[in-house]
Amino acid sequence: MTLSNSLISLQQTDQQLLEKKQTFVTLQNEIQSQGGLIKLREQCEKQKQQELEAKLEVARLQSELNSLKSKVSEIEQRLYGGSITNVKELNAIEIEYSSMRRNLAQVEESIPSNEKIAAEANEKFSEFSKRLKDTEEDWKLRLVKIHGQAKAIMDEYNNMLLERKKEQSNISKEFLDHYNRISKSNPGSAIVKVDRGVCQGCLVKLPMSESNKIRLAEKPIIGSCCNRLLIFSK
């Protein structure tokens, strides 16, 4: 195998290692979030809390309404009872009466909206609870599957690492070091082809002389464009 082919093969192995690692991380994240169970539990809790708060608010408003109603009827008795003879006093009571009626109307109006909030929260709670129950069931099976998958990927990953060791033994230290260095910032494109004079790593057109040099070279050439290892595209 030529040096270029060895490097390309190493790069492919590295890409596969990266993919395995990413799959492994995805599985781990799923385990951590318990397949969305943690979030669902939080959502249930939030709706329950919201329902409770809205219900408390309804109770508070109702008690306020009752107290306002009894005050209003008290004033009405005084207003229409005929016991007040002083005009000034009558005016003052009338002002108090109308302000109290306004309050009463406001309180009365805000009860239904809070009842609605409580009902909606209750509905959402039931919905989330059902989903939670289903997810809990599914999760037990899924978890077993995930553990199996994670183990298989780990095994594949370790085997691939051994493969990589073999592959890198075919590559001289000078090229291997350069490949590893460039790979860090450009995973999957440390060694690239030059196609019609254009570096396929950074898409810069190379000078004709450099392009020719790469075409004739037996080993990859470090590109003046981006430091990647360049080979000729046949």
Q: Which residues bind Zn ion (CB under 5 A)?
A: 199, 201-202, 223, 225-226
Q: Containing H/E element for 82?
A: none
Shortest distance, CB of residue 192 to Zn ion, whole angstroms?
7
Give the rounded distance of the alpha carbon of 78 from its chain centre: 64
Residue type, 141: L
Shortest distance, CB of residue 205 to Zn ion, whole angstroms?
10
The interaxial angle of helices 3-32 and 87-168, nearest 10 deg, is 150
Q: What is the 3-state secondary structure (H, E, C) of 157-210?
A: HHHHHHHHHHHHCCCCHHHHHHHHHHHHHCCCCCEEEEECCEECCCCCECCHHH
Residue whose CB is less far from Zn ion, 69 or 193:
193
Shortest distance, CB of residue 17 to Zn ion, whole angstroms?
24
Residue whose CB is less far from Zn ion, 118 or 214:
214
Residue whose CB is less far from Zn ion, 3 or 202:
202
Residue whose CB is less far from Zn ion, 44 or 192:
192
CA distance 222 to 214: 9
Shortest distance, CB of residue 174 to Zn ion, whole angstroms?
19
